[in-house]
Chain A
Amino acid sequence: MTSGTTPSLFLRNATGLVKGWSGFDAFIYSFMSVNLVTLGMFYSFLTFGWVPDGSPIAAIVISAIAVTFLAITYAGLIAVMPRAGGDYVWQSRVLDGIPGAVSGAVVFGIGAFLVGQALALGDAVDLGAGAVGVVGGALLGLRRGGIGFVLAATGWWFILALWAPIYGAILTVEFVQPVTALAGLEGVSSFFGTPDGVFAVSLIVIALVTALVALGMAGYARVQRASLYVGLAVLAVVFVLMLVSSQADFQRAFDREASSLFGVTNAYQSTIDTTAAFYGAPFAGLDPFGFGPGTLALVPFMFFWILYPNWGATLYGEVRGAGDFRKVLNGMLGGIWVTAVLAVVFVLLAAKTFGWEFFQATNANFGDTFYGVADAPAPVIPVWGYPPLLASFLVDSRVVQIVIVVLFGAWFLGWAGTLFLSSTRMIFAAAFDRILPEAAARVSDRGVPIVALLLIMVPSVVLSWFYAYNADFVGLTLDATLVIAVTFLGSAVAATILPWWKKELYANSPVARYSIGGLPLISLAGGITTVILAWVLVEWLTNGLYGIGVGNTQSIIFLGILYGAAAVLYVVARLYRRAQGIDLEAIHAEIPAE
């Protein structure tokens, strides 16, 4: 029974009725997904130097605002279809008929046209390929569940195989290399910078995340919570170190440690000079309140880090009302905005203590080599200027330095475990829908999803090999986010049309009470998210700055293979099941009530 003087609901004792759940738990999951240290520091903040006329703080704030609309959209979808299981089912339920056909036509029309262009087949063939893509995509989208499967399989399964070596690269530059370097094992540290080393760390990551899936979320949740506390505590220590130290202190400390660890003298100034020579000018200082002309160009880079507050966003149990919607939303908003505030504080401290000119230079110096920029000068020091490592130099104690960097590993440990978990859930859903063979959902006696794990492990190993031994493949890193953004875009479109396309479903949901200016909140947020994601996708695909668009044949073909494989898998499954007498169309066909 609800508490208070006027009960609005009387409950009886029945299975599944719980007293609720902690919004803090939702925050932890979101906060660790939007990971300031693993994704933010390396993949996003490293790129500030590539857009020297952009304003980092403004870009962070704009990105957080943009992703806020995504969080509202997802919290709304979760509240409307709480136990559905995420993008796959939401899109399959909502994007049927005309919306499904339009979505399919857009995805495959653009995709086929770009692949035609990448293969340099000629304008006529490109247009022809685009037309075939439009028709094929529309036909696929007309089938209930077709476009939902393609977008979810690519975003929650296929592309996560590319994330495995990306996770490996993060573990290398943020843990393995700095720790081994600090331990005086320069040879070992150097090895992990070689293709063999990169591949080895990727395999370690794959083994680690597989073990964490086998452990199960019940066990991993405890690891994640402990990681949060450890990660925040050591972050606070680093922030304090940076706050109380001057730029001169840091310069002396950096030069001392570069000399001691790597035999590099005058490393601070050399880093600035080397990069200035390559870029033609030194980097400018930080303008905290600036809004430079390149600011918006930084936003697609920021999305590599801040786009995932909804990762694993599922709500279990009974949804009683708007309170559940708000709790889910608050968890995600906490994940976004606590991270954004910490990011801004970090940028300000980095500028104050490291010196923004140096910080930009050391990132660009390492990043240019990491991404294979032509003629880039060798890094002044052989490891990345990982901010916790740089801050640890402020303490002239090797043991303390190692402890700081090792404890920062909690940010990785609390984040990496969900990589394959999402894939296995998607694979299970596809198996239950008979698109994949029944065996894909097989579990061991201990509940380990053996086949599903293999279905993500094997492509992960293959892509890790490419990542390690094909220098150009590292340049496809942003594709890992692009494909997920396309999946999110599908759900944003579904959320936008939901109140009109699935009226009853929406009207019976707790989010139906929220509207702004007569427009349903979920549609407003979904519409804005659709526009934002569409813009980001256009930027990624057309702006050479990001390196994965029309100028990168390998990237476009890679994307074409992903979406093509998902479509082929779906079509083959439908035909095969039809031959077995199973009509997959029936999965989402609504039975009339009257």
Chain B
Amino acid sequence: MRVFFATDIHGSEVCWRKFLNAGTFHKADVLIMGGDMTGKAMVPIVATGAGWEVTIQEQGHVLSSEDEARAMEKRIRDRGYYPVRLGRDELDAWAADPGLVDARFRSEMLASVERWMALADERLAGTGIRCIVSPANDDMFEIDPIIDRAERVELGEANTIELDGFTLVSTGWANPTPWNTYRELPEPELRERIDGLVARVSDPRRSIFNFHAPPYGSNLDSAPRLDAEMKYVAGGQALVPVGSRAVRESILAYLPALSLHGHIHEGKGAVRIGSTLAVNPGSSYEDGVLQAAIVDLDTKKGSVKRYLLING
């Protein structure tokens, strides 16, 4: 069985499209999206009467036709941002009222997940490729039922899913971050949540953990240290472990065949923790590059046969 695992695409349209095509391209049986699939930013495209103005990556653009506006919207989406068309008055209102921004953010995230699930249903139909999506700490809870409703996509979060003799156990909850995001738990509670999920598995050694947070001190969790003002220390060169101790301890306790992680975009790598292969493919979603792990599992032995980290 071949598993294709990617994570942390943060709204990048092109990465999602690549993800859906990866099963065919890499002959994978199962696609797993490890979460943090919603974007972090909205880019206003401001109507001027004669067209639109937009600033992306600190560069201003004037768009004079609908075709140009659509091309810009695609560029913004591919980068993982949400393009929003606004009038000047609306923009001023947004600047004054964070509530308006939040409301629009929510609707954009939900709409994009709806669109992505529809695309998944369309592209995966008739392929026989299974697709599991598990939201993570940066994803609002309201996207779970949207994923659950998709015909060709299975919701990973808090579910155990049988995969050809293996059991996929997923949670996108993470240990606390400085950003206080949607799905965060103190370490003891995270461990409880994991234990509760694994309790449903008959043979934990034939399981695949799909836990967004990487294990603490595994090098899959090395992130630039931040100071009290949320600025990088030493220009980002000072890396520190920020993963979850609960995840590490649960891997050592249950020794699953494979443990899939994300969360730390800089933490690309593969390590053995006990007999478990733990991987974090990292993320370069802003470049439109889909970083992923391809893992071949031996369904008879219940072990990992081979793996490869790719930049697709």
> Which DSSP category, helix, strand, loop or mixed, fits chain A's interface?
loop
Tell me whether A593 and B14 are in contact (CB under 8 A).
yes
Scan residues 246-289 of chain B and give those whose CB is less than 8 A from a CB of chain A: 263, 265-266, 268-272, 282-284, 286-289
Most B CB contacts (10 A, CB to CB) among A80, A318, A449, A580 go to A318
Tell me which residues across on chain A come within 8 A of B224, comparing CB atoms: 316-317
Q: A580 is contacted by which of B44, B105, B306, B312 (Cβ under 8 Å)?
A: B306
A152 on interface, CB distance cutoff 8 Å: no
Q: Which of A216, A318, A442, A589 contacts B312 (CB 8 A)?
A: A589
Q: Are A592 and B25 interface neighbours, CB within 8 A? A: yes
Chain B 220-232, CB-CB to A under 8 Å as 1, else 0, gives 0011111001111
A residues near B219, Cβ cutoff 8 Å? 428, 441, 443, 447, 449
Q: Which residue of chain B has the shortest Cβ distance to A429 in the bound complex?
A: B268
How many Å lie between the Cα of A314 and that of B79 in the bound state?
20
Q: Is A445 an interface residue (CB 8 A)?
A: yes
Contact call A443/B218, Cβ cutoff below 8 A = yes
Residues of B contacting A83 in the complex (Cβ-Cβ under 8 angstroms): 265-266, 282-284
Minimal Cβ-Cβ distance residue in A for B218? A443
Q: For A428, list chain B residues within 8 Å (CB).
A: 219, 269
A7→B234 contact, CB < 8 A = no
Within 8 A of B (CB), among A1-23: 1, 5-22
| A225 nearest in chain B by CB position | B234
A211 near B: Cβ within 8 Å? no
Rounded to whole angstroms, the CA-CA distance of A434 and B296 in the bound complex is: 14
By the criterion CB–CB under 8 Å, are A15 and B236 in contact? no
A12 contacts B288, C-beta separation under 8 Å: no
Determine the chain A residues whose CB is within 8 A of the CB of B81 once the complex forms. Answer: 9
The count of residues in chain A whose C-beta lies closer than 8 Å to any C-beta of chain B is 83
Contact A590 B312 (CB under 8 A): yes
Distance to closest chain B CB from A498 (angstroms): 12
Instruction: Tell me the total A-B contact number using a CB cutoff of 8 A.
Output: 231
B59 near A591 (CB under 8 angstroms)? no
A74 to chain B, nearest CB (A): 14
Residue pair A592, B21 in contact (C-beta under 8 Å): yes
CA distance A131 to B57 in the complex (A): 47
A81 on the B face (CB < 8 A): yes
Binds B, one of A114-122, A320-328, A395-403, A472-480: A320-328
Chain B nearest Cβ from A158, distance in angstroms: 22
In the complex the two chains form, what is the Cα distance from A25 to B241 in whole Å?
21
Smallest distance from the beta carbon of B2 to chain A beta carbons, Å? 10
The 8 A CB mask of B297-312 against A (1 = contact, 0 = none) is 0000000011011111
Instruction: Jot down 21 A-B pairs with beta carbons below 8 A, ordered by A.
Output: A8-B55, A9-B44, A10-B43, A11-B40, A11-B41, A14-B10, A82-B286, A84-B287, A217-B234, A225-B234, A315-B236, A317-B236, A432-B309, A441-B219, A581-B306, A583-B308, A586-B294, A591-B25, A592-B18, A592-B25, A593-B17
Residues of A whose CB lies within 8 Å of any CB of B are: 1, 5-22, 25-26, 28-29, 80-84, 89, 92-93, 216-218, 220-221, 224-225, 312, 314-323, 331, 428, 432-434, 438, 441-443, 445-447, 449, 504-505, 507-510, 513, 580-584, 586-594
